[in-house]
């Protein structure tokens, strides 16, 4: 037994629910977790080795094998592709002498694709040994690989600091905020503690009432009323309650939480404390995606500062019996963990597979206790609601959508970045605001949302018309809609947890059908079939990922059917995909006789 594994497992109290942390710690030391180490962990946690392995192999950033001294994860989101990823990827392969998905023979470089890393406003972007490299050019690739070969560290290659807190000593990241528009809630003037101050004079139920009165709905995309969720949780019977903050923003095209985590972490943590007070919780977890690991020290500093100020710990703000703390729980690369019940599973050290519901997390959540899960932006807004009042909040937005919304706008436009707007602006206004012209389509809410064309640009961004978690991908006139859809389908296939049979493989079938159409081998009946099969996805699967995995196909056929039809073979009602010559080539070679042309 290696003393190292033992000390790491002991650090987490030999608790199997902390398996994610244990695997993270071993990973950060040597870059992978070996079979022998899995056995040791299993023994120490008193679980079977296959249980350790099933968690480890679920997450994209965990590995059973070495992934190179320099492990390069290159984002493959749609916008990365739009911004020239292909050339950058080729240059990486040429410079390192290895292909994507493999490690170079000398063990120096590992090259891997990765789903959207929350940098769509500065693509192409890569993560190398945990450090984010935005706006990577072919020149930069050559420079990086040359320098690594000369023995430079990844830290040596940081050549600029982004603005704001990105340049603070605790972050020192090349990432830029691109905060293009500050609004009245999240990015307005703010003094840490202004929400907490009110707790001294308010009872937990008063807080819940205030949040309910504000009409705030979940900012992650689903739009469930936040106050109602808290009310359900506080009234559910149980021993312990938990607050989970969902900072796993994995929807391709979203990056607004990154900016909150960088510039306004106190606002979010205050929201978590207010939530803890409202539902009488003892512990809050910030579930942070590993892509944002570079913010760890920065966020931990804020938490230790809060503890010093008496905002975390025992008898917070002098309120007798209000004992509460927050810890950061890292994910390890899995889009599906943004789904709240999958997020809970991950926090418990398991595979991020969504649970069957009911019961809902407010009844049976983290460690089977009553749990609320709120988005970073929702909790940040709550701090301002408590500081300034529900009426102030309701004075902004539309009738059913109060307050502001952060939009992450990227793609073909002049000013990609985060914009805080009041609910109620139209898509046309949004495009004008962000400097987008000659727009063919907008992907509203990321791949799981809707692909809309100019005929819907008059629609209003709000829960009553066009709801969104904030990811807005602008697709210019010159782009092929079918290529857009293909990228999204690959994404859903990569990120399916694999639990539900239709999501596991019908996604692959749909992608293959798309490929057939793109290759010019599609016939008219293929379009009907792909729609029919796609509709099954909506009803067949357990969670939002599976239910929306066919949305790119369904909404693009709805709005851009002509692009599909242009690719369909005309006048043929039989399948031309089957190529007899290529099917028999192997046996033709074996017998040495070839069909005549």
Q: Between residues 278 and 344, which has the closer beta carbon with respect to other proteins?
A: 344
**What is the smallest separation between the CB atom of 495 and other proteins, expressed in angstroms?**
7
Please give the Cα distance from 322 to 573 (Å, whole number).
71
Take residue 31 and report the two structure tokens written for it.
């870059």
Q: Between residues 55 and 404, which has the closer beta carbon with respect to other proteins?
A: 55
Give Cα separations from 201 to 197, 272, 405, 414 (angstroms): 8, 18, 29, 47
Closest CA to 537 of 492, 494, 568, 495: 492
**What is the smallest separation between the CB atom of 360 and other proteins, expressed in angstroms?**
13
**What is the smallest separation between the CB atom of 296 and other proteins, expressed in angstroms?**
25
545 CB neighbour count, 10 Å cutoff:
24
Closest CA to 61 of 102, 96, 10, 112: 112
CA 323 to chain CA mean position, Å: 31
Take residue 572 and report the two structure tokens written for it.
């043929």
Closest CA to 114 of 124, 122, 103, 104: 124
Query: How long is the chain?
Result: 597
Q: Between residues 170 and 508, which has the closer beta carbon with respect to other proteins?
A: 508
**What is the smallest separation between the CB atom of 520 and other proteins, expressed in angstroms?**
17
Task: Using CA atoms of 301, 218, 406, 189 in order, give the dihedral in degrees to the nearest 10.
Answer: -50
Please give the Cα distance from 405 to 468 (Å, whole number).
9
Dihedral sign from CA coordinates of 146, 151, 153, 157: negative
**What is the smallest separation between the CB atom of 191 and other proteins, expressed in angstroms?**
44
- What are the start-end ranges of the E strands in 430-511? 439-444, 450-452, 471-476
Take residue 37 and report the two structure tokens written for it.
């180490």
Q: With contact defined as beta carbons under 8 Å apart, do 62 and 28 qualify? A: no
What three-state secondary structure class fits 448? coil
Place of tokens 């608790």: 15
Q: With contact defined as beta carbons under 8 Å apart, do 272 and 288 qualify? A: no
**What is the smallest separation between the CB atom of 47 and other proteins, expressed in angstroms?**
6
Rg (CA), the chain: 25
Please give the Cα distance from 467 to 310 (Å, whole number).
39
Please give the Cα distance from 51 to 35 (Å, whole number).
12
Beta bridge partners of residue 443, listed in sequence order: 451, 473
Q: Which residues bind other proteins (CB under 8 A)?
A: 46-51, 53-54, 57-58, 334, 351, 356, 493-502, 504-509, 512, 529, 533, 536, 539-542
- What are the start-end ranges of the E strands in 216-270? 241-247
Closest CA to 64 of 51, 53, 48, 49: 53
Closest CA to 461 of 510, 412, 513, 405: 405
Please give the Cα distance from 449 to 468 (Å, whole number).
8
Q: With contact defined as beta carbons under 8 Å apart, do 502 and 541 qualify? A: yes
Map 335-352 to HEC letters. HHHHCHHHHHHHHCCCCC
Please give the Cα distance from 148 to 258 (Å, whole number).
28
């Amino acid at each position: 037994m290696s003393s190292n594994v033992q000390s790491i497992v002991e650090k987490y109290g030999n608790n199997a629910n902390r398996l994610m942390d244990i695997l993270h710690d071993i990973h950060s030391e040597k870059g992978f977790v070996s079979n022998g180490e899995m056995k040791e962990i299993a023994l120490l946690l008193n679980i079977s080795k296959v249980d350790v392995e099933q968690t480890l192999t679920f997450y994209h950033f965990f590995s059973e094998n070495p992934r190179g001294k320099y492990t390069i994860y290159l984002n493959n989101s749609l916008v990365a592709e739009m911004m020239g990823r292909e050339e950058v990827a080729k240059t990486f392969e040429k410079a390192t002498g290895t292909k994507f998905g493999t490690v170079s023979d000398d063990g120096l470089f590992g090259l891997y694709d990765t789903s959207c890393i929350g940098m769509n406003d500065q693509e192409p972007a890569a993560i190398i040994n945990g450090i984010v490299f935005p706006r990577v050019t072919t020149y930069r690739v050559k420079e990086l690989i040359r320098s690594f070969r000369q023995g430079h560290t990844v830290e040596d290659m940081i050549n600029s600091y982004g603005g704001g807190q990105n340049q603070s000593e605790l972050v020192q990241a090349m990432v830029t905020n691109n905060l293009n528009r500050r609004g009245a809630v999240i990015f307005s003037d703010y003094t840490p503690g202004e929400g907490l101050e009110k707790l001294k004079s308010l009872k937990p139920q008063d807080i819940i009432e205030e949040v309910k009165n504000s009409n705030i709905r979940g900012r992650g995309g689903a739009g469930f009323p936040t106050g109602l969720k808290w009310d359900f949780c506080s009234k559910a019977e149980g021993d312990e309650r938990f607050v989970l903050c969902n900072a796993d923003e994995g929807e391709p095209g979203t990056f607004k939480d990154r900016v909150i985590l960088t510039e306004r972490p106190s606002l979010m943590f205050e929201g978590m404390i207010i939530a803890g007070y409202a539902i009488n919780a003892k512990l809050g977890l910030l579930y942070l995606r590993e892509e944002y690991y570079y913010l760890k020290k920065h966020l931990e500093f804020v938490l230790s500062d809060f503890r010093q100020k008496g905002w975390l710990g025992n008898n917070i703000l002098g309120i007798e019996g209000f004992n509460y703390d927050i810890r950061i729980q890292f994910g390890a690369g899995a889009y599906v963990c943004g789904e709240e019940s999958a997020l809970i599973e991950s926090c418990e050290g398991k595979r991020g597979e969504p649970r069957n519901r009911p019961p809902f997390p407010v009844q049976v959540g983290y460690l089977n206790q009553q749990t609320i899960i709120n988005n970073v932006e929702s909790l940040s807004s709550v701090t301002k609601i408590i500081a300034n009042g529900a009426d102030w909040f309701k004075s902004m937005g539309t009738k059913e959508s109060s307050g502001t919304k952060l939009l992450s706008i990227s793609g073909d436009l002049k000013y990609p970045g985060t914009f805080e707007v009041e609910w109620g602006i139209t898509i046309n206004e949004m495009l004008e605001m962000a400097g987008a012209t000659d727009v063919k389509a907008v992907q509203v809410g990321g791949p799981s949302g809707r692909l809309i064309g100019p005929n819907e640009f008059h629609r209003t961004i709000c829960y009553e018309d066009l709801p969104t978690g904030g990811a807005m991908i602008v697709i210019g006139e010159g782009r092929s809609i079918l290529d857009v859809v293909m990228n999204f389908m690959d994404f859903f296939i990569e990120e399916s947890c694999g639990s539900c049979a239709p999501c596991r493989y019908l996604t692959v079938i749909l992608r293959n059908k798309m490929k057939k159409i793109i290759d010019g081998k599609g016939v008219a009946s293929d379009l009907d079939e792909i729609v029919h099969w796609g509709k099954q996805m909506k009803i067949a699967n357990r969670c939002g990922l599976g239910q929306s995995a066919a949305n790119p196909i369904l909404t693009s056929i709805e709005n851009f059917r002509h692009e599909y039809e242009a690719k369909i073979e005309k006048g043929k009602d039989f399948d031309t995909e089957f190529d007899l010559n290529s099917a028999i080539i192997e046996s033709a070679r074996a017998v040495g006789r070839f069909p005549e042309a």
